Amino acid sequence: MRIIITEFMDEAAVAALARRFDVRYDPDLVDRRDALLAALADAEAVIVRNRTQVDADMLAAAKRLKVVGRLGVGLDNIDVAACRDRGIEVIPATGANARAVAEYVIATALMLLRGAYTASAEVAAGAWPRTAYSNGLEAEQRMLGIVGFGGIGQLTAKLAQGIGMRVAAFDPMLPADSAVWQQTRVQRLELDALLSAADVVTLHIPLTPDTRNLFDGARIGSMKSGGILINTARGGIVDETALAAALKSGQLRGAAIDVFDQEPVKAAGALADAPNLILTPHIAGLTQEANERVSSVVAERVAAVLDGAAHASAQGGR
């Protein structure tokens, strides 16, 4: 059985698959669409990250496809309904990069609360802006508001509580009587109440028609004055122009954005000259450890699907 891997994957996991299957590992294949479609003609499995669009054209080219492995958790680049209709399993690496994302949230929250970590160039140049950077904030007893309280949100809450933060969360999929609230010691709030109370708001929701531009000018404007917004979920949830305006006006203290409506970001885009802003290239879930976990989990689960298919085929041939 043949597996096509279109984006980077941990080498140990690739080698483990290659010992048992016919593997084509080509991490640049995502950027050569015609070659990708041609490669899929005899593939039973494809493993992708977030840039490969598993759409109608790709599924049409992959007539033997049985499973799509996703090196991550977001599925907005995969036509899940079409895969379901064709009996193709979609396997995300649920939970495997949660620690990396949660640590990113806490790290950027601390940086933006303190506000001093952009002083390196000034100090190195001989300036001594001690007074300007002497009014940073401590995290203890400040509120972290989590929008989307799944596995990543719950781990982020645990880390935040470990440094003395109060934590509240909004998740319409978790009813008020869910055991999760008591187990995590997290306050359940509706979205508007959470935004008005939280010192730091972090997003952990999928991009859907309902969540696109969820954080528009009005919703960002409803956040607590001097609040901080962190988005490691998906670009498109936050209106980047509205965010830039809120940072420039001082309505928000800062923001950390790891995901964007268009990736890579256009030069001189809406966020280019916004102050108190940390921008990273969609790497919140990427660490050495997370890459190994994500790749290992997906490799094992894809192999299990192919083994099941081979067994079924052998049984049918008897």
Active site residues: 234, 263, 282
Half-sphere exposure of 186 (CA within 13 A, CB side): 35
Distance between the two ends of the chain, CA-based, in angstroms?
20
Sign of the alpha-carbon dihedral angle for 289, 75, 259, 194: negative
Tokens of 277: 């802003």
The token duo for 301 is 């689960």
The phi-psi region of residue 282 (left if phi > 0; otherwise alpha if psi is between -120 and 50; otherwise beta) is: left
Cβ partners under 8 Å of residue 112, min gap 6: 200, 228, 253, 254, 255, 256, 276, 278
